Amino acid sequence: MPVRPKPKPAPAPAPEVLARLRAAFPGADCSLEHADAFQLLVSTILSAQCTDARVNAVTPALFRALPTAAAMAAAGPELEELIRSTGFFNAKARSLRGACRAIVEQHGGEVPRTMEELNALPGVGRKTANVVLGNAFGAPDGVVVDTHVGRLARRLGWSGATDPEKVERDLNALLPREEWVFAGHALILHGRRTCTSRSPRCSGCLLEEICPKVGVTSATKPGVDRQGTPGSRKPGAARAGRRR
């Protein structure tokens, strides 16, 4: 007699998940300190493979020395020294100079406001562009999908994809546009504090009884969920997004 496959667990109800996350994290916001879109773009590029706390410690001196896209595009070796402690500083410096040069030459020194234009800048992928569009301009093109958001999207049954852009498409279709920015921040916070990659704290989790826990096993390894999704990105990649 053929063995019947196990029924697929129902995904967690999105409205209830968002309501509970909003109650738990009412002030969920961008943790990268910035005064404008330029500073946020630079900080987000620097945050690849680096904590936001480290980026926030580095950027005050960086922006005092190189306050504009023109200044950063023309910067010499001082740029590498100023960002050295964020890791992969040579690759990040190349991305920053390239992005700032394009901003000066193609956009009059102002950070562009569309996904297409941001995504064309060196070192800027969809994830970084959505951080800037959502937090600096209030007009996200989609949910920011980092390692935490991708992991939670799979565990909640919201996406079966491992590619961040496919996860983003699934979340964009599922969640109301007005919730995209909040959802990204709140899922990241929940992923950091409770739904961790290794040994998630399911007992007592605010989503425990509504979460299907897809891929959660006692053998979950550091940085990898059961679907084999790495919990890290390529260091210094030109399209690297943010680690939050």
Whole-angstrom distance, CA of residue 183 vs CA of residue 26:
11
Is residue 127 among the annotated active site residues?
yes
- Helix H, strand E, coil C: the string for 73-125 is HCCCCHHHHHHHHHCCHHHHHHHHHHHHHHHHHHHCCCCCCCHHHHHCCCCCC
Which one of the listed residues 52, 92, 141, 146 is annotated catalytic?
A: 146
Q: Which residue has the tokens 């005092």?
A: 64
| 225 labelled catalytic | no
Main-chain dihedrals φ then ψ at residue 224, nearest 5 degrees: -135, 130
**Phi, psi for 82 (deg, rounded to 5):** -65, -30
Q: How many CA atoms lie within 13 A of 108 on its CB side?
A: 2
Q: Which of 127, 141, 170, 221 is catalytic?
A: 127
Phi, psi of 45 (to 5 degrees): -60, -40
- 87 — alpha (psi -120 to 50), left (phi > 0) or beta? left
List, by residue number, the catalytic residues: 127, 146
